[in-house]
Structure 1
Amino acid sequence: MKTIMLSPQNDKNAVNTAASLIKQGEVVGMPTETVYGLAANALNGEAVAKIFRAKGRPQDNPLIVHIADFDRIYELCPAVPPQAKALAKAFWPGPLTMIVPKGDCIPQEVSCGLDTVGIRLPAHPLARDLIRAAGVPLAAPSANTSGRPSTTTAEHVLRDMDGKIAAILDGGPCGVGVESTVITLALDKPRLLRPGGITLEQLRAVLGEVEVDRALYEKIGDEVRVSAPGMKYRHYAPKAPVTVVRGDPQRTAEYIQKQINGPTGVLCFDEYRSYFPTCVVECFGSQFDLAAQAREVFDRLRAFDDTDVTRIWAQCPSDEGLGLAVANRIKKAAGFSVVEV
């Protein structure tokens, strides 16, 4: 298969071409405001199965369904919880996925046998244009090889998916940079399953009490059945092993300095680049700029794969606000190998 790159800037028919491929049961790389996704017809089990094959994705890792208008949720879910309407009013279109009871129209390939499904209404205009042009909801996990850092540009998608999918719709760099926040509304109390562009504090401002799943802070065993992507398996990882160092940025930088041995990579805040003159250094934003960290973290992790480093040390933000999402991605890239200083 030859993967074609579709650019709406150069081709006015790019979206319609991508939509036509989806109607034919193919997979297309789709831009969103968070990361790029691998999009297929969410109502076509055979098309969805192609996503799993392209990514090498475990068969028990459910997908998120993307819609372009809130009212489409009623076609996919038999009972929309009242909290969903409140969250949609506050945060949709945007980087929020809600886990709700699924309808019979959602194939098992999407839900991985669960009775729930994640629904999201993305903010990226090209994503919504593609969904409307295709005429169906789109199942779309991140457009990377399973376990690798997520893709935030069309070029990243091509690097991982060339020859595995039909096309990539180029929407430019993603603005948020980490995947959507995932909250389940299918339990007795709302629970945050994956942090993202909508913070825990924002969710609590709308819903009141929101529990936090333990998967945010520790590795989940293989025997655990999860209801959202990104909870169970090692994700976002470059080729070299990563160790996260958490604590005051000055102390973490000084700790990492003492560990340098051999071809070493360091993921650090901008302010501490000079601490590591003998290392391959990738900076992912100021220690005070969480939005920049979210946009840059996957790109910087990917950059290490073009080097000869055999180990990577990473500074990490605290868990406040958007920092919870950035810290979660770095810790998962490290397989929760974390040092507190």
Structure 2
Amino acid sequence: MRTRILKVNPRRPELQKIREAAKMIKRGSIVAFPTETVYGLGANALDSKAVRKIFVAKGRPSDNPLIVHIYDKSDLARLAVDVPKIMDRISEKFWPGPLTVVLRKTKIVPKITTGGLDTVAVRMPSNLIARSLIREAGTPIAAPSANYFGRPSPTAAEHVLEDMNGRIGLVIDGGRTRIGIESTVIDLTSNIPILLRPGGVSIEQLQKEIGRVVIHPLLRGKKSRAAHRSPGMKYKHYTPNAQVILVEGQSGKVRKKIIRLAGKLKKQGKRVGVVCMSKARYNAHAVRVVGPSYEKFAASLFGTFREFDLKKIDVILVQAIPKKGIGFGIMNRLEKAASTKIKAD
């Protein structure tokens, strides 16, 4: 299969190009497209055969649920039942945007889309290309990140091609994504909302608007037999080819620890990459300063992993950050990607 690139203006999406991609969705094909978080691999969420193509292209386990993207708030009624009153406040404050809600699904939603669950994960993206595509396709679009399963999520069209070239027919190139990590996911099937995945909307923002939000035990490093109703809960994700070592502790001590580790690894013949919040003489083969803001860290994280893979880096040393604001989402991705966590002395 030949994978074609279709460049679209992210600020003023050309309608003719969007309709070309929408026709492919209507025919049951899959299309990669940008959202404000990462690039998604989209198909008609209500077409079982089309959705199955996503799982095949990604090499994704069939019990890993997909997120269904909608154009308008009114579309939620087609997909979900027993919608709590609090959803009005959530949609008013956070939609369109990087927040996904989990609700009881209607019969119209195929089980393959939900990973066999009786719940469905839904969000309304704010990216203009994504919104235009959903509108012109005339159907909700199921779309996990457009990478091969387990790899870092793509934040640019070239990242999609690294994993999906020859596997899908079309990639819409809308430039770099803004946020860089996936959406926040909350479960609304209980009396109190449960945070299933931290992301572009912080738990602090949620608590300010809707009150108490419970953090799922898995996010605290505890075991749980509860159903995994969100992507990113059950399997290892976001991993580059290089080994990722997460270094935790006070920032000054972390810098010193990374410098010592980099020197030790280089003596072992390893190519070393460093991801850090501030400049220092790390003596590594590749260094990416992702600070000073956590937002900058999030936007560049997955792209940095892919860049280091291209540079044949063997080990990536990453500075841990506090789990506050979007930092919670960043650390969630890093803990999923890391093979080792080390405390700075």
Q: Same fold (TM over 0.5)?
A: yes
1:43 partner SS: coil
What is the aligned partner in structure 1 of residue 232 from structure 2? 230
What is the aligned partner in structure 1 of residue 272 from structure 2? 265
2:233 partner letter: M
* Count of equivalent residues: 336
**Structure 1 vs Structure 2: percent identity of aligned residues?**
42
Q: Following the alignment from structure 1 to structure 2, what is the Cα–Cα distance between the partners of residues 285 and 51?
A: 35
What is the aligned partner in structure 2 of residue 309 from structure 1? 313
What is the aligned partner in structure 2 of residue 202 from structure 1? 205
CA contact (8 A) 2:31 2:42 kept: yes
Within the candidate set 254, 257, 282, 1:255 is matched to 257
Q: Following the alignment from structure 1 to structure 2, what is the Cα–Cα distance between the partners of residues 278 and 131?
A: 44
Give 1:106 shift.
0.5
What is the aligned partner in structure 2 of residue 172 from structure 1? 175
1:293 partner letter: F
What is the aligned partner in structure 2 of residue 129 from structure 1? 132
* 2:251 counterpart of 1:246: no
1:1-341 to 2 correspondence within 5 Å? 1-9=1-9, 13-218=16-221, 225-260=227-262, 261-262=265-266, 263-272=270-279, 274-286=280-292, 289-335=293-339, 337-341=340-344
Deviation per CA, 1:105-140, whole angstroms, max 9, x where unpaired? 010111111110100000001101000100000000
Deviation per CA, 1:298-325, whole angstroms, max 9, x where unpaired? 1111111112332221102111111111
Give 1:76 shift.
0.9
Q: Following the alignment from structure 2 to structure 1, what is the Cα–Cα distance between the partners of residues 257 and 24?
A: 51
2:160 partner SS: helix
Give 5+ residue unaligned stretches, structure 2. none
Give 5+ residue unaligned stretches, structure 1. none
Q: Following the alignment from structure 2 to structure 1, what is the Cα–Cα distance between the partners of residues 230 and 314?
A: 32
2:274 partner SS: strand
2:127 partner letter: H
Give 1:12 shift.
5.1
Q: Following the alignment from structure 2 to structure 1, what is the Cα–Cα distance between the partners of residues 226 and 302?
A: 26
Taking structure 2 as the reference length, the TM-score comes to 0.93
CA contact (8 A) 1:38 1:51 kept: yes
Q: Following the alignment from structure 2 to structure 1, what is the Cα–Cα distance between the partners of residues 307 and 83?
A: 42
Give 1:279 shift.
3.2
CA contact (8 A) 2:272 2:284 kept: no
Q: Which moved more, 1:148-157 or 1:5-14?
A: 5-14
Q: Following the alignment from structure 1 to structure 2, what is the Cα–Cα distance between the partners of residues 34 and 183?
A: 16
Tell me the C-alpha RMSD between the 2 structures: 1.7
Q: Following the alignment from structure 1 to structure 2, what is the Cα–Cα distance between the partners of residues 7 and 24?
A: 21
